[in-house]
Amino acid sequence: MSKVINKVIIEKFIRKIPIESHHSKTKHHQSMNQQVLDYFKDYATSLTDKGEGEPKFQYLTITFNEKILRSLKAHNRSAFIQRVYEQLWWRMHSKLDIKRPHTTKTHQHLLMRQYQVIEDVNRYGNKTLEHLHIINGVHPKFHDKMNDKLFWESVVNMPGEFIFEEESRGFDYQDTVKELHIVEIPVHLGQKERWADLANTIDYTNKGLSKINQGVLITGEIFNCLQPHTPITITKENTYGTEQHNRYG
């Protein structure tokens, strides 16, 4: 197994011009943008309604070991990345002492809310090696951890092995990730600008849904997923360190 050394980069958010702003977006692109934005808005409202504070939002970009990816058949790469993502998702919560994150009810309110997209194009629409974008919503309890480089290094330094059944091959988890790049997405105080940066980030992440083919706007395909499916928290923290169920419990 290889030793993980400095795979994590944490930078400040830089507002950029929206991708291909001169191009129209397909209806599916617009609809997906709104669906994902509503997901994170509902998550934020769910926390503030319980008096738990505001979530932090981050943009994670994960690139993978090029030698491993290129050794896989092209049509299997998304499934491979999804397998690694599932382990990363579990690992993020395990390092925060959240046990059994897939089934927990006690700590359901603490789970990160994520929108992930696997794509194979860059910001200019040019073909590139498959990589993963994640918009990450984080409970206030863990805000300090999100700026801790050592925490994220421990996340990508995943122990264990797995069999990728699509090609009947074994891999070490910690060999799969090349780099994890993290920036915080600002949520502003002013109502007009409040969700602007998050909305633009979502639009960028969904850019593969709008393509120009010989001057014609067409709907592209992306591999995307919301995790967990529901943004609403069904439990809450209290001052005594226990959780209470609301009407969704």
Averaged pLDDT in 10-residue chunks for the chain of 249 residues: 72 66 79 97 94 96 97 97 96 94 88 96 85 97 95 94 97 96 90 89 93 85 90 65 34
Token readout for 96 is: 């925060």
Token readout for 102 is: 């897939």
Element at 169 (helix H, strand E): strand 169-172
Q: How crowded is residue 55: how many other Cβ atoms within 10 Å of its Cβ?
A: 22
- Residue 39, helix vs strand vs coil: helix
CA distance 90 to 100: 8
Nearest Cα residue to 106 out of 232, 233, 230, 226: 233
Q: What is the pLDDT of residue 18?
A: 52
Question: Could you tell me if residue 204 is left (phi over 0), alpha (psi between -120 and 50 degrees) or otherwise beta?
Answer: alpha
CA distance 170 to 140: 38
CB 206 within 8 A of CB 29: yes
Beta bridge partners of 226: 115
Q: What is the pLDDT of residue 249?
A: 30
Nearest Cα residue to 204 out of 37, 38, 44, 74: 37
The pTM score is: 0.88
Q: What is the pLDDT of residue 241?
A: 39
- Residue 120, helix vs strand vs coil: strand
Q: What is the pLDDT of residue 248?
A: 27
CA distance 68 to 190: 45
- Residue 11, helix vs strand vs coil: strand
CB 43 within 8 A of CB 231: yes
> What are the sequence ranges of the domains in the chain?
8-16+23-232
Q: What is the pLDDT of residue 211?
A: 84
Q: What is the pLDDT of residue 245?
A: 36
Q: What is the pLDDT of residue 23?
A: 60
